[in-house]
Amino acid sequence: MNMEAFVLGCGGMMPLPGRHLTSVLLRREGELFLFDCGEGTQVSIRSLNLKWKKISVVFISHTHADHITGLAGILMLSAQVERNEPLYIIGPPRIREFVEMNRQILEMYINYEIVVQEISNPEQPQTVYNGEGFRVRSFPLRHSRVCVGYVLEEDERPGVFHPERAAELGVPRGPMWSRLQGGEPVTLEDGSQVEPGQVMGSARKGRKFSYVTDSLPIESIAREVAGSDLLICEGMFEGELAESAHSKRHMTAEDAGRIAKAAGGVKRMGLIHYSPRYTERDLKRLVRDARHHFPGSFLTRDRMDIPIPYED
C-alpha cells in the first residue's frame, strides 16, 4: 500500500515566485488528504497532475490567511468534476464560519456535500477522523490563534507469514493459508486447530505522518510526533532570530531539530513554512540549524514528492 506526501507550498506569510503558501497533500492508496490550503495550492495540484476530486478530507491547522486562502478555490474547483463522496473539512473553531461566509459571498456553485467538523476542544489531543486501517489525531499547538497539529497513524500490520511453519503443521496450501494470514484460526481434517500465532511473526507497526506548523516549541509536540516516519515541521527562522520568532509564536529550524531529536523514532523531518526574508540560497542556513540537532532534516520545496515506505 503506497503512501507519499506532496509539498504543495512551503512558504509562510506571503507567496513568492516558486514558493506557494503552506500546504501538504498526503496520498494513501489513492485517497488524498490535504493539510492546510495556502494560496497557490491549486497550481501545485495541477502541476503534479493530482486528482483533486480524490481529496477526502481537508485538515486545517488554524484560520490565519496563509493557511486557508486557497480553500475557496478548492471548493469551487471540486464542483467542476463528478463527485459522489462528501468532502470533509476539519479544523479548530471558526473554520465553519469561514467556509459558510465564503460560500455565501462568492455565491459558490456546489453540487456535492461539504461536511465541516470543528474540533470542539482543541486544547486536548483527540481522534478527529477514522479511516479504514488508520486514524487522524489532532493535538494542541501554541500560536497567536487557536492552532492544532495533526498525526495520521496506521494500524499495526499482521506479522510475516511463514509458509514452512504452516507446512510442518500440516496446513494445506490454499484458503487456509489466507485465513491464517488474516488472523483466523483453522481446523485441520484430523480436528486439530492451528492458530495464526503459530505461523505468523510479530505484528509490524504501520506508518505515521505528522504535520506541525505555527507554534512555539512546546514539549508536548515531541510526545505527539514520536515514531513518525515523516515529520513535516515549521522551521520559519534561523536560530539567531529565536527571540523574534518566539515573540511571534513561531519556531526556528533549530527548535524543530530539537523536537525531532527529543521525540525519538522520527525517521525524517522536512522543514516548511519559511519566512519570506530567506532567499532560496539563504534556506541552507535553516537546514544547517536543524541538522545540528537532527541529522535527518531536509528542506521541503514546492511540488516535492516524498515517499513514506514501510519499515520492512
Helix, strand, or coil (residue 167): helix
Q: Residue 46's closest CA among 16, 17, 70, 82?
A: 70
Residues in CB range of 263: below 8 A, 6 or more apart: 221, 222, 223, 225, 226, 227, 228, 231
pLDDT, position 186: 84
pLDDT-derived band at 188, boundaries 50, 70, 90:
confident
**Cell numbers describing residue 157:** 500490520
Helix, strand, or coil (residue 267): coil
pLDDT per residue as tens digits for the range 73-99: 999 988 887 888 899 999 999 999 999
Residue of 66, 214, 229, 302 with catalytic role: 66
pLDDT-derived band at 196, boundaries 50, 70, 90:
confident
Give the amino acid at 52.
Answer: W
Sorted by where each begins, the domain ranges of the chain are: 3-157+204-307, 163-198
Residues in CB range of 9: below 8 A, 6 or more apart: 15, 19, 20, 21, 22, 23, 38, 39, 40, 41, 44, 302
SS3 content of the chain, % helix, strand, coil (to 5): 30, 30, 45
pLDDT, position 168: 83
Cβ–Cβ under 8 Å, residues 84 and 53: no
Cβ–Cβ under 8 Å, residues 142 and 220: no
Give the mean model confidence (pLDDT) for residues 227-248.
97
Q: Is 312 a catalytic residue?
A: no
pLDDT at 161 over 90: no
What is the 8-class DSSP label of residue 184? -
What dotted CATH number matches 3-157+204-307?
Answer: 3.60.15.10
pLDDT at 31 over 80: yes
DSSP assignments along 185-253, one per residue: -EE-TTS-EE-GGGTB---B---EEEEE-S----THHHHHHTT-SEEEEE--B-GGGHHHHHHTT--BH
Its sign, for the CA torsion 63, 92, 258, 226, is negative
pLDDT at 52 over 90: no
User: What distance in Å separates the CA atoms of residue 202 and residue 213, rounded to the nearest whole number?
Assistant: 35
What is the 8-class DSSP label of residue 295? T
Arithmetic mean of pLDDT over the chain? 93
